[in-house]
Amino acid sequence: MTGEPQDVPPRPRGWVSLYAVAFLLLAGAGLAIAASARGLLESTRLLWVSTVLSGLAIVTAIVSVVLPRR
Distance of CA 62 to CAs 13, 14, 21, 38, 57, Å? 12, 9, 12, 31, 9
Dump pLDDT digits (tens) for 49-65.
999 999 999 999 999 98
CA-to-CA distance for 19 and 27, rounded, in angstroms?
12
Binning pLDDT at 50, 70 and 90, where does residue 15 land?
Answer: confident
Over residues 16-42, the pLDDT tens digits come to 899 999 999 999 999 999 998 888 778
- Distances in Å between the alpha carbon of 60 and those of 1, 50, 55? 41, 15, 9
